[in-house]
A and B are shown apart, each in its own frame.
Chain A
Amino acid sequence: MKDAINMTVRILPPKKDAVHMTVRILPPNLINQIAAGEVVERPASVVKELVENALDAGATHIDITMNEGGRSLIVVSDDGAGMDDRSLALAVERYATSKLPDDDLIDIGFFGFRGEALPSIGAVARLKITSRTREGSSAWYVMVAGGRRDGPVPAPHPRGTRVEVRDLFYATPARLKFLKAARTELNHAVDMLNRLAMAHPYVAFTLNADGRTRLSLDAEIGDLFDARLARLGAVVGKDFIPNAVPVDAGRDGFRLTGYAGVPTYNRRNALAQYMFVNGRPVRDRLLHGAVRGAYQDFLASNRHPYLALFLECPPQEVDVNVHPAKAEVRFRDAGKVRGLIVGALKHALSEAGHQASTTVSDAALGAMRPEGARLPQRASNSLFSAAQAGQAPLHSTGPGTGLAESQMNYDGAPTAAVIEGDDEASADFPLGVARAQVHETYIVAQSEDGLVIVDQHAAHERLVYERMKAMLADKGINRQLLLLPEVVELDEAAAQRLVDRAEELAELGLVLEAFGDGAVVVREVPALLGETDVQGLVKDLADEVSDFGEALALKDKLADVCGTMACHSSIRAGRRLGGPEMNALLREMEHTPHAGQCNHGRPTYVTIKMTDIEQLFGRR
């Protein structure tokens, strides 16, 4: 029994008596161990299978326990529907499931359905399931160890199911050796649970690891969007909530909901991108490619947004039965799904065009320190406020006394140009009215409920960039014809993929056609790029089309050129601006989409709320 899998490997070297070997059906236990190789890869996959079972059973509260990273013990108990003794006995048999009531593999409405999880776990670990239905007078348990079943036997247990997995992989030592440190395995399980928890905000989850609470998520209430946002905040981090914009779009039975982080709230890797298809967490290249495409204009290529997207679609439009762990999915019409995601995200982001990340202003506030030793006690505070009330306002040099004059006193010290008596109502403008320019770099504006600080160069650069893009879109991209058309050798599939997208590429200024098998010939290039490395560009494009289904490299390159030109033709830091100039910049920012961040995902302005300022001074 031991090393059963290893034995099958050992028949590999040619044997003299090979002719005498006969074909036979493997014993069921061995079959289950082989299946377990696909389904049960590591403790996290056990947790996933068991939690999905609990969710399918309609649980509202799921408690998980893991000891030694799940190696010695995994317990998942729920308050779901439970099983009676007959179901319990069948549950541990292979290809036994309650989740395909009509024997229809197309219309799948549950998480599990392959009927592989429990017998697979039973084949590689000591499994004990205790369960009681709502109507059942008593609970039953069944045990499986090394593929042999004991029970069902009556046992005491409240309504719901408790699955206990001990000594995972004891029956397959080879796999046991490949387990990573307990900590790593636990982290994988936490990640898995996080994803499941996001998809099910109305279910409470707890995870107890080696006696310590690792995760505790209460069931959320309210409508789906509120509940989800609260749950996302609990899982991803509190910062996510103020920096997320809701996404809600639908097309032909597909519906995309969720939250997308604003571009200024970004990170170095793509780990905080959570995607769900019909409630099932997936990692799919198509979906990640669509996200990259949507954010491409706002983020440097090495920064990634936070987001959680939930795609609901008719079960017959998607094949979830591609991967045993169901991490990948396949869509009947991939182009439609990509279009929906890119469109919905772009729409959501342009609605939020003015929202610079709150983490930015929080960080700014955090950096501020009150002058002097400590904040005065509240009791003595009234004295200070009285004194402040009597203090002259900043721009009290009086009309007529020129600003330049008053600045002379500073004699080369950092300057602040103050705008005189401009009493426009700041309430009408989200970015307020310019009050001053500091260090000839930042515009300080007063808005209705606070203070806005604008980086003049970054803001103007973005405005010029947006204008340039609109111009390109409006006028089309000029194409330089090549005197020496360039032949690029690719593999056949890559060449075909590019040729299939020739029309889309032509719109971006790159005209290519097939050149025999496995090569394309480039005849025209965007004139904007000048003399460019066509070979490199086309190869990058081919890779991206296969990885993400999007031709990003070309757009990136064009955006790069626009970006550089925008940078050169926008006002620099260090340029002194007058009041009307500053106000004009602010007004244009309000009217330009995506003015809240520069081309690299950094903010162009930060807002500091009045309440925050008051807090800084200990008034609240």
Chain B
Amino acid sequence: MKLIIERSALLKSLGHVQSVVERRTTIPILSNVRLDAAQGTLSLNATDMDLEIVESALADVGEAGKTTAPAHTLYDIVRKLPDGAQVELAFGGGSQLTLTSGRSRFQLACLPVDDFPALAPGDYPHSFSFAAADLRSLIDRTRFAISTEETRYYLNGIYLHAADSEGVNVLRTVATDGHRLARVELPLPDGAAGMPGIIVPRKAVTEVRKLIDEAEGEISISLSESKIQFAIGDTVLTSKLIDGTFPDYERVIPTGNDKVMETDCKTLSQAVDRVSAISSEKSRSIKLNMEKGTVTLSASSPEHGSAVEEIGASYDASQLEIGFNARYLLDIMQQIEGDAARFTMADAASPTVIRDVSDGSAVYVLMPMRV
């Protein structure tokens, strides 16, 4: 193998693939990136056995060939090379890859390319495509609620499925950690009808999210019962899915809540942030007392004292005092892009529904706290 590639092209591709590679692994070859040079392209491939990424970059290939090299080390070297440099990679079939650039020369230990694990290829019976911005909005507004508690593995990802929302066919993403829930939907793209409900693991979500920022135009998604594949520009990301049943989330989204409060989203978040500064605990608890036309936020701590802030709101129902985890509340407020947020509540011990007044595509459910 022998090739010459522009430093910036190599850096961009390596940057994508190396983030899939785990820092610590018990299988040495999983620390490596697979390099495959042929016909004017260098293709780079990394995996952690659950998630695989393949990216191709243009290169001047003198001699075709393949090998594997330590991903993080290679990335580190390329990162430190000067901008605009040409990088030459040469592998003569031994155990070392030679990287030359300007007056720098590196010898990297290789592992046999035949040992590199490949995800079993499979059929992807369902495929559809999405505008990058739409996919970003689906992911961003749900992923904050993904559970990190590993015993409930089926909550460690985003549930993606086709649904019927009041007669309109939609594609939905849902995430919950058992304390709060986020549900976002967009019109169903062509080809997604009949897709199974799948749970996309957190790591895949994170990696896809990173790639979306650099992507333009359409992203195509293919999936089967056990795998999902994202094609984003020159990059193909394939992930295994979480094998589990996502809970029946519809059941916990209340429909009969009759106490409605609407307020300016920004004002509320800033007030929550300020008032919760007083509470010393890890679970920053905050109380919202709703009366006609106002919401009074309060928090207290025997150590630091207490805080009260009153904000204007439209509220017509009977007085209600309800406690929340301030962090959870802020997480949700951050997702609301419109000016106003609408809270619908039943009582201090039942789930509260929060929506963006100007955008009906997202629903957030937050369970109160007993303070």
Contacts and interface: CB of A to CB of B under 8 A. Distances in A.
A478 B177 contact: no
B306 to A, nearest CB: 12
Interface stretch (B71-79, B96-104, B281-289): B281-289
A297 interface: no
B26 interface: no
B181 A532 contact: no
B282 A530 contact: yes
A482 interface: yes
A615 interface: no
B351 interface: yes
B370 interface: yes
Contact of B367 (A471, A478, A480, A535): A480
A532 B177 CA distance: 10
A410 B369 CA distance: 57
Q: Pick from A483, A527, A535 the residue with the most CB of B within 10 Å.
A: A483
B370 A482 contact: no
A475 B281 CA distance: 12
Given A471-B303, A480-B325, A533-B151, A527 B283 contact: yes
B191 interface: no
Interface size class of A (residues with CB under 8 A): 20 to 34
Contacts of B151: 533, 535-536
B176 A480 contact: no
Interface string B297-308: 000001100000
B176 A483 contact: yes
Contacts of A479: 369-370
Contact of A483 (B149, B180, B371): B180
Given A474-B302, A483-B178, A527 B285 contact: yes
A486 B351 CA distance: 15
Contact of A565 (B148, B150, B247, B282): B282
Interface in B295-353: 302-303, 323, 325, 349, 351
Nearest to B370: A479
Contacts of A116: none
Interface in A455-507: 467, 471, 474-475, 478-484, 486
Nearest to B180: A483
A535 B154 CA distance: 14
Contacts of A486: 178
Interface in B163-208: 176-181
B110 to A, nearest CB: 42
B196 to A, nearest CB: 22
A531 B281 CA distance: 15
A163 B181 CA distance: 77
A524 interface: yes
A530 B351 contact: no
B369 A481 contact: yes
A90 interface: no
A561 interface: yes
Given A471-B302, A478-B370, A483-B365, A531 B147 contact: yes
A484 B369 CA distance: 14
B70 interface: no
Interface in A83-110: none
Contacts of A565: 282
A82 B232 CA distance: 98
B157 interface: no
A483 B367 CA distance: 6
A544 B148 CA distance: 27
A585 B151 CA distance: 42
A528 interface: yes
B304 to A, nearest CB: 11
B176 A478 contact: no
Contact of B282 (A471, A524, A561): A561
B179 A478 contact: no
Contacts of A484: 176, 178, 247, 252
A536 B365 CA distance: 26
Given A484-B252, A531-B177, A532-B149, 14 more contacts: A471-B302, A478-B323, A478-B369, A480-B179, A481-B368, A481-B369, A481-B370, A483-B176, A527-B283, A528-B281, A531-B148, A531-B149, A531-B178, A565-B282
Interface of A: 467, 471, 474-475, 478-484, 486, 524, 527-528, 530-533, 535-536, 561, 565
Interface of B: 147-151, 176-181, 247, 252, 281-283, 285, 302-303, 323, 325, 349, 351, 365-371
5 contacts: A478-B283, A479-B369, A481-B368, A486-B178, A533-B151
